[in-house]
Every structure is written in structure tokens, then in C-alpha cells.
């Protein structure tokens, strides 16, 4: 009996100790002021808000949507910037773009191509330091273009167990660029370079090094000098200091750890991940600034017509039924039969998912930011993806 009492007491103590909940990741951020002049009578307003409301009713914690076309700007949202205090999402809020960053990186590469500083069809070992090139399998046959359009065959380091276990164990202390590259050194290629398509963040990690070598400047300098300053993107940021992050109007971010629709606030984790995602995902900004960049890109204010044509030269993977990717641009087909495709980019952090899409058929830009992550399979993968598809499909098919 004494033994039984011992075990019961032990179990009780253990159970109650471990049941104590803390808030490990929450952040407070200031409110955000409006960024643009919004057309309150925008013709897309009612339909966008109906779609948003439908998915907020399904448990989407927060979503911000921005559109721009001939009828002007409309920025709206649903849910909360932070569930815990029910603070609203506002048009001036910033968010991590994550892989939308790849379009910016590709644009910088194409600017260097236009200036003759970068050859798209040169092997990457031309530009990489010897110790990096020697670690990348096939670096003498993989070209810069193959990195840009994800046809290199290099494994995606974010899908490796070593990276994922590191995220779980040490989420606020993200690996450096060198540590990320070391994960892929010596890894076999997924296919012969150029023979297929496989999205890989490693490609854009290597592109950062190549761009820096070709230009003689850091990625941060180039982004500031070539894109942010010329386009006056006052709300676009890269490599933020901790104090800056804490003072900026970011929403809180959530994720469904156990795939059982229980959302945890993981804001600090998402912020740490976003701020260290470098040239493959490290830019943050407002919805309006994202649209301003893509609009400037399409209008030839970032790269010239020939470079833009290269960026919109699509490749298609062997298993794909439609084009997959250009240079820093994803291809979509949400339109009506006969429509030309749409393009842009999606982005995914641990606590959010974003999308930028341009619809040539109606000259409309769509930006989406949802404050729930979909990196793990589960109900929120489907809720967030279905919301993006619904918004994209509506925008692609809308006609004035």
C-alpha cells in the first residue's frame, strides 16, 4: 500500500507541475496607422469580405487582404491581429512576406544580369566560394538560372530532419546562413540539373551568395539601393534589429501543433524565423508595399522588358499539369477557360501564410496574409489553403 501511495503522489505531482501553462511566444505590438487611401466603395469589397467572413467563421484567426486595380485600393481583413486581446488587423500592419522575398531576390539577380555582372547560364561554381561550391553536389553543372527557377535538383534544407528538429529544440535561435548550407553539403541531387522542377529554399540561399559576389555588395545593401529606395517602399524591411521588431506593428501568429485545431501563439518563433530567412524569405512589409513592388516590377520600373520576359518564362515539372515557375515567380491558373495565367508568389512561415498574385486579365493585384501557419499537415493546412484559393479564384475571375 505504501508503494501505491508513493506512485500516486508522484504521478499527481508530476501531472500538476507539467500542467502549468506559460506564454512562451506572445508579443505585444503597437497599433498601425493606415498606409494608403482606400476606396470604400471598391466593387470587389462585398465579395472579398464575404469570403473572409466565411473562413473566419471556420476558425481563421486573422486575415488581411489587399487589392489594387483601376478602381483603386481596397484593404480589408477579418479576425484579429491578436486573438488574446481581440485587437483588429489594420491596413498599416506589417507582416513577414516569407517566400514572396524570392521575387525581390530574382529581380536583383536580373538587374545584375542587365548590367552584365551576372551570367544566367554560367555554372554556380563560377560565383561561389570554393569551400561552398565543393559542398554542393553538381555545382559545376547547375547554372544560376536553375537556381532561379528551382530546376537545380538541390535538396530543400528546410525539409531535412536536422533543420526541423533544430526548429523544435531552439526556435528563437535560428541557424546562420553557413549552418543552413552545411545541412545540404554532400547531399545527392534529386534529379539531373535542369531535368525537373523541385522548389528548394537552398536555391535562393545560394543565390544570395552569388548576388553578393557578383555585385561586391551585401544582399541588404542591394535590396536597399536597388529596390527599397528607388521605389520609396517606406514600409519594407530586411534584417531587423530586435528593438525595431518589437516596436513595429506586426500581428501575432498562431499554429496548430498537434493537428487538432488547438491554436498556439508562436509569435516570437515566427518573428525569429522570418527575420533570419535571408534571401529566400526574410523581407517584411505592409500589404500595400508588397503590391507596390510587384506593380513596379510589372511596369518595368525594377527590371527591363527583356529581364521581365525571362522572369515570366515558365518551366513545368515532369509531374505537373501546368507551368510551375519562372525566375522568382510562381505560375497560377485560377481564371476562366482561355484566360492567360496569373503569377506571383506564396510564402509560408511557421505561424502565417502569405500570397501575392497579379491577374493580367483584369490588371488586378491581390495580397493575402493569414496569421495561422500551414507548414504542418492538419486542419489549418486546409482552412488556410482553401481561403487563399477562394480569394485567388474570385480575383482572377472578377471582371469590371
Site for another protein, rule CB under 8 A: 3-4, 7-8, 10-12, 14-19, 21-26, 57-59, 61, 83-84, 160-162, 164-166, 168-172, 183, 254, 257-266, 269, 375-378
Minimum distance from CB of 384 to another protein (Å)? 13
Minimum distance from CB of 186 to another protein (Å)? 10
Handedness of CA 313, 315, 320, 321 (dihedral sign): positive
Q: Which is nearer to another protein, 172 or 309 (CB)?
A: 172
Q: How many CB atoms lie within 10 A of CB 331?
A: 18
Q: Which is nearer to another protein, 22 or 399 (CB)?
A: 22
Minimum distance from CB of 20 to another protein (Å)? 8
Coil, strand, or helix at residue 82?
strand
Q: Are 282 and 201 in contact (CB under 8 A)?
A: no
**Residue found under cell 500592419:** 93
Q: Which residues contact 292 (CB under 8 A, 6 or more apart)?
A: 231, 233
Q: Which is nearer to another protein, 14 or 389 (CB)?
A: 14
Minimum distance from CB of 169 to another protein (Å)? 4
Show the cell assigned to 274: 522570418
φ, ψ for residue 386 (rounded to 5)? -60, -35
Minimum distance from CB of 258 to another protein (Å)? 4
Q: Which residues contact 186 (CB under 8 A, 6 or more apart)?
A: 135, 137
Minimum distance from CB of 159 to another protein (Å)? 10
Q: Are 108 and 226 in contact (CB under 8 A)?
A: yes
Q: Are 392 and 342 in contact (CB under 8 A)?
A: yes
CA gap 167, 375 in Å, rounded: 12
Q: Which is nearer to another protein, 57 or 244 (CB)?
A: 57
Show the cell assigned to 43: 466593387
Q: Which is nearer to another protein, 9 or 336 (CB)?
A: 9
Q: Which is nearer to another protein, 257 or 397 (CB)?
A: 257
Minimum distance from CB of 188 to another protein (Å)? 14
Minimum distance from CB of 58 to another protein (Å)? 8
Give the H/E segment covering residue 358. Answer: strand 353-359
Q: Which is nearer to another protein, 192 or 262 (CB)?
A: 262
Minimum distance from CB of 265 to another protein (Å)? 6
Q: Please give the C-alpha separations between residue 134 and each of 62, 106, 137, 187, 379, in angstroms, as whole numbers.
A: 45, 24, 7, 12, 42
CA gap 217, 193 in Å, rounded: 28
Selection from 102, 299, 272 nearest residue 202 by Cα: 102
Q: Which is nearer to another protein, 10 or 129 (CB)?
A: 10
Q: Please give the C-alpha separations between residue 250 and each of 143, 145, 271, in angstroms, as whole numbers.
A: 37, 34, 9
Q: Which is nearer to another protein, 113 or 253 (CB)?
A: 253
Minimum distance from CB of 56 to another protein (Å)? 9
Q: Which is nearer to another protein, 31 or 162 (CB)?
A: 162
**Residue found under cell 495565367:** 341
**Residue found under cell 534584417:** 239
Selection from 158, 100, 151 nearest residue 388 by Cα: 100
Amino acid at each position: 500500500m505504501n508503494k501505491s501511495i508513493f506512485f500516486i503522489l508522484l504521478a499527481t505531482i508530476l501531472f500538476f507541475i507539467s500542467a502549468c501553462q506559460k506564454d512562451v511566444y506572445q508579443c505585444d505590438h503597437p497599433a498601425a496607422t493606415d498606409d494608403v487611401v482606400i476606396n470604400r466603395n471598391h466593387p470587389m469589397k462585398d465579395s472579398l469580405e464575404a469570403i473572409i467572413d466565411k473562413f473566419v467563421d471556420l476558425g481563421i484567426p486573422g486575415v488581411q487582404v489587399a487589392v489594387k486595380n483601376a478602381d483603386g485600393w481596397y484593404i480589408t481583413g477579418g479576425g484579429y491581429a491578436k486573438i488574446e486581446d481581440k485587437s483588429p488587423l489594420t491596413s498599416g500592419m506589417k507582416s513577414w512576406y516569407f517566400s514572396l522575398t524570392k521575387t525581390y531576390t530574382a529581380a536583383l539577380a536580373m538587374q545584375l544580369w542587365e548590367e552584365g555582372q551576372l551570367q544566367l547560364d554560367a555554372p554556380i561554381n563560377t560565383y561561389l566560394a570554393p569551400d561552398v561550391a565543393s559542398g554542393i553536389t553538381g555545382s559545376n553543372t547547375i547554372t544560376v538560372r536553375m537556381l532561379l527557377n528551382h530546376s537545380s535538383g538541390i535538396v530543400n534544407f528546410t525539409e531535412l530532419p536536422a533543420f526541423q528538429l533544430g526548429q523544435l529544440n531552439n526556435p528563437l535561435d535560428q541557424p546562420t546562413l553557413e549552418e543552413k548550407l552545411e545541412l545540404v553539403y554532400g547531399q545527392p541531387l534529386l534529379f539531373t540539373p535542369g531535368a525537373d522542377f523541385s522548389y528548394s529554399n537552398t536555391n535562393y540561399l545560394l543565390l544570395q551568395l552569388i548576388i553578393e559576389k557578383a555585385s561586391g555588395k551585401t544582399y541588404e545593401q542591394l535590396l536597399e539601393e536597388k529596390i527599397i529606395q528607388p521605389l520609396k517602399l517606406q514600409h519594407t524591411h530586411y534584417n531587423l534589429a530586435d528593438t525595431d521588431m518589437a516596436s513595429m506593428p506586426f500581428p501575432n501568429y498562431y499554429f496548430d501543433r498537434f493537428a487538432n485545431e488547438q491554436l498556439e501563439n508562436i509569435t516570437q518563433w515566427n518573428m525569429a524565423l522570418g527575420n533570419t530567412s535571408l534571401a529566400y524569405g526574410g523581407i517584411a512589409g505592409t500589404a500595400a508595399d508588397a503590391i507596390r513592388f510587384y506593380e513596379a516590377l510589372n511596369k518595368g520600373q525594377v527590371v527591363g522588358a527583356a529581364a521581365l520576359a525571362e522572369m515570366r518564362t515558365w518551366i513545368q515539372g515532369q509531374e505537373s499539369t501546368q507551368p510551375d515557375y519562372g525566375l522568382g515567380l510562381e505560375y497560377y491558373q485560377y481564371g476562366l477557360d482561355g484566360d492567360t495565367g496569373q503569377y506571383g508568389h506564396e510564402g509560408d512561415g511557421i505561424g502565417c501564410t502569405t500570397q501575392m498574385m497579379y491577374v493580367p486579365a483584369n490588371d488586378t493585384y491581390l495580397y493575402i496574409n493569414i496569421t495561422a501557419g500551414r507548414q504542418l499537415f492538419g486542419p489549418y493546412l486546409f482552412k488556410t489553403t482553401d481561403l487563399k484559393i477562394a480569394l485567388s479564384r474570385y480575383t482572377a475571375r472578377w471582371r469590371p
